[in-house]
Amino acid sequence: MDKDMNVVIIGTGNVATILGKLLVSKGHKVLEVVGRAKQKATSLANICGAKPILDFSAITDTADIYIIAVSDKAIEIVAKQLILKNKLVVHTAGSVSINIFNMPGNNYGVLWPLQTLRKEMETVPPIPFVVDAVNEATYVTLLNFTKTLTDTVFRANDAKRIKLHLTAVMVSNFTNHLYALANDYCHKEALDFKLLLPLIEETVNRIKTYPPHTVQTGPASRKDVTTIANHLGLLKPHPTLQKIYHLMSDSIMENKPL
Amino acid sequence: MDKDMNVVIIGTGNVATILGKLLVSKGHKVLEVVGRAKQKATSLANICGAKPILDFSAITDTADIYIIAVSDKAIEIVAKQLILKNKLVVHTAGSVSINIFNMPGNNYGVLWPLQTLRKEMETVPPIPFVVDAVNEATYVTLLNFTKTLTDTVFRANDAKRIKLHLTAVMVSNFTNHLYALANDYCHKEALDFKLLLPLIEETVNRIKTYPPHTVQTGPASRKDVTTIANHLGLLKPHPTLQKIYHLMSDSIMENKPL
C-alpha cells in the first residue's frame, strides 16, 4: 500500500495546502479535507479533488492515512476527536511529541516537512521529511509512503526532532529576521535592499560546497575592530540591531567550538 | 574609452582574482598584475594574460584604470607608491574612505563589489558594484566602465557605502555564522546539516518575492514561549548559541520598527 494511498488531510493552512498539492501530484488520492472554516476547507478540497468536511464525526474511516496539519496546540484536540481503528495517523509538527497520540486503537507517527511552506507557492520546493512511528511496522508503511513524496527521508525520535527543529529556527527564522532587520535599516537609510540579494544568494550557494565556518568572511572574521566600532557607532539609533551586531561579532571572533 | 579598457590590477587575493577573470571575460585587457608574492602574481597574471609585476616602481603608466584590490589596511600604502599622472585609480573596499587617495595628480574613485568572492569560484556570480568618484567626469568614466561588468551599478558616497557594508555584514557574515553554528551543533548532536539546505535555500527564495518581515515564521514569530523555552533548555551546554537564540527570539517578538 505504499503507492496511491487514500489520504485525509485535517487542516487547511500552509502545510495542509502544500501537502495536499504534493500528494495529488504524486498520484495519491485525497479523499477529504477537514477544517472548521467552510471556505478554507472547500477551497483546499477543490485543489485536491477532495470532499470538504466540517464535522469531525463525519470523517471517513476508509482512508489509509490521516494527516493532521494543524497548529501545534490544536493537534491533541484534533487527535482526540478522531475515532478510527487501526489507521495510520500522523502529525506534521517539528516540536510536538509523538506521544501526543494516546490512541491505543491506531498506528501513529510523525511526518514533519523540514521546509518553510506557504499556501501561495506555485511550485512545491524540495522537502526533506523527518518521520517517526510508534512501531516498526508503522514506520515501514510511513517510510514507503514518504518516499513517494521526496528523495530525503530522515528518521528522528522526539529528542532528535526537536534538535533539528532548533537548527531549522536558527538557519531559517533567524536568518530571515536578519534580512528583515537589514531591509528595515535600508528603508530608513534610503538604501535599496535588493542590492543585497545577489550577496545573500551567493552566501547560500557557497555552503552547498564548503562547510560554513571555512567560508566565514567580514570584519569580525578578520578581527577588524575599527570597522566593527564604526558599524556599532552607526547603529546607536538602532539599539536592538546594535546588540545583535555586537553579539554576532563577538561570537564570530571567539572562533571556537560551542 | 568605456570599452576594452587597459587595466592594471594591484593585488592577488579573492577580489583581485575574480575581478581579473571578469575583466578578461568582458573584453578588457589586463596589462599587469602587481603583487609582492611572485607565485601569486604570476599565477593571476597567467589567468589574465597579463604581465606579473613585483616592483611598484615598474608599474606601467599606460593603463586606463588601476584597481587596488588589497586588504583594507594596505590600500593607503599602495596608493602612495603609485606614481601616475591623470590616471583613474580605484580601490575595491566597502569600508575605506575615498579620501584615502590623497593624490592630486590622479582621478580616483571606489569600485566596490557587493558580493562575497572567492578565488576558487569557477563561475563569477552576479556582482552589483557600488561606485564613487572624486568628480563627475571621473564618475562618468567609472560608471561606463563598470556597466561593462555588471547590470547593477549603485553610486554611494562614503557615508552610504559604509551603511551598505554594514547591511552586507548582517545578511551575509552573520547569516553564514548562523549556518556555521548550526553545522557545529548538528555535528555534535549527530544530525545531518545537509538536511537543512533546502530550507535555507527556500528562505532566500521567498525574499525575492516577499519583504522578509512578511514571511517571518517560527516559534518567536507566533510567540510560542513553550517551544522557545524548550530550545533554550537544549542550548544550556552551548552558552553562546543560547545567548544568540535568546536575543534573536526577543527581537522577533518585539516585532516593531528598529
Q: ipTM score here?
A: 0.94
Residue A233's contacts (CB-CB under 8 Å, 6 or more residues apart) are none
pLDDT of the residue at B215: 93
For B208, other C-beta atoms within 10 Å of its C-beta total 10
Domain identity same for A128 and A180:
no
**Helix A239-254 vs helix A225-234: crossing angle, to nearest 10:** 160
Distance CA A106, CA A89 (A): 7
What is the H or E stretch that residue B53 is in?
A: strand B51-53
Contact A218 B128 (CB under 8 A): no
Instruction: Tell me the per-residue pLDDT of B17-76, one tens digit each, with 9 for 90 and over.
Output: 999 999 999 999 999 999 999 999 999 999 999 999 999 999 999 999 999 999 999 999
Instruction: Tell me the per-residue pLDDT of B104-114, one tens digit each, with 9 for 90 and over.
Output: 777 999 999 99
Contact B174 A247 (CB under 8 A): no
Is A188 within a domain?
Answer: yes
Choose the closest CB to B178 out of A171, A191, A199.
A171
Report residue B230's pLDDT band, with 50, 70 and 90 as the boundaries.
very high
Is A26 within a domain?
Answer: yes
Distance CA A139, CA B242 (A): 34
Is B1 within a domain?
Answer: no
Question: What ranges in B126-238 are assigned the alpha helix state H?
Answer: 136-147, 158-168, 175-188, 197-206, 225-234
- B99 torsion bin: left (phi>0), alpha (psi -120 to 50), beta (else): alpha
pLDDT of the residue at A3: 67
Distance CA B5, CA B149 (A): 12
Domain identity same for A219 and A145:
no
Shortest CA gap A152–chain B (Å): 8
B125, B156, B187: which is the final residue of a domain?
A: B156
Is A1 within a domain?
Answer: no
Q: How far is C-alpha A125 from the geometric centre of its chain's CA atoms?
A: 12
pLDDT of the residue at A256: 53
Distance CA A205, CA A236 (A): 32
CATH value at residue B217: 1.10.1040.20
Contact B95 A162 (CB under 8 A): no
Nearest Cα residue in chain A from B124:
A202
Distance CA B121, CA A152 (A): 28
Reply yes or no on whether the pLDDT at B181 is more than 60: yes
Contact A171 B234 (CB under 8 A): no
A156, A182, A203: which is the final residue of a domain?
A: A156
Full residue range of the structural domain in which residue B204 is found:
161-254
* Residues B55/B41, Cβ–Cβ less than 8 Å: no
B107, B124, B156: which is the final residue of a domain?
A: B156
Domain identity same for B129 and B195:
no
Question: For the whole prediction, is pTM greater than 0.90?
Answer: yes
Contacting residues of B for A178, CB less than 8 Å apart: 170-171, 174-175, 178
Domain identity same for B204 and B109:
no
Is B247 within a domain?
Answer: yes
Contacting residues of B for A237, CB less than 8 Å apart: 258
Is A106 within a domain?
Answer: yes
Is A117 within a domain?
Answer: yes
pLDDT of the residue at A96: 95
Instruction: Tell me the per-residue pLDDT of B118-133, one tens digit each, with 9 for 90 and over.
Output: 988 889 999 999 999 9
pLDDT over 90 percentage in chain B: 87
Q: Which long-range contacts (CB under 8 A, 24 or more apart) does A205-211 make?
A: A205/B125, A206/B116, A206/B118, A206/B176, A207/B176, A207/B179, A207/B197, A207/B200, A208/B197, A211/B180, A211/B183
Instruction: Tell me the per-residue pLDDT of B199-225, one tens digit each, with 9 for 90 and over.
Output: 999 999 999 999 999 999 999 999 999
Domain identity same for A137 and A198:
no
Domain identity same for A115 and A179:
no
Domain identity same for A167 and A246:
yes
Domain identity same for A174 and A190:
yes
Mean pLDDT, 10 residues at a time, chain A of 258 residues: 83 97 96 96 97 95 96 92 88 95 84 94 94 96 97 96 97 98 95 97 96 94 93 95 97 73
DSSP letter, residue B2: -
List the beta strands (DSSP E) in A11-60: 29-34, 51-53
Better-predicted residue by pLDDT, B146 or B85: B146
CA distances from A158 to A61, A74, A111, B36, B75 (A): 28, 18, 12, 57, 54
Domain identity same for A225 and A129:
no
Residue A105's contacts (CB-CB under 8 Å, 6 or more residues apart) are A84, A85, A86
CATH value at residue B132: 3.40.50.720
For residue B256, the one-letter residue type is K
Query: CA geometry: angle at A216 spanning A210 and A222, to 5°?
Result: 145
Considering its fold, how many domains does chain A have in total? 2
Contact A174 B178 (CB under 8 A): yes
For residue A194, the one-letter residue type is K
Q: How far is C-alpha A221 from the geometric centre of its chain's CA atoms?
A: 31
Distance CA B19, CA B88 (A): 16
Domain identity same for B52 and B178:
no
Domain identity same for B18 and B139:
yes
Shortest CA gap A253–chain B (Å): 11
Domain identity same for A104 and A187:
no
Contact B115 A199 (CB under 8 A): yes
Is B104 within a domain?
Answer: yes
Reply yes or no on whether the pLDDT at B257 is more than 50: no
pLDDT of the residue at A122: 85
How far does chain B reach from its first CA to its final CA, in angstroms?
Answer: 45
Quote the cell numbers at residue A245. Answer: 551586531
Distance CA A157, CA A133 (A): 8
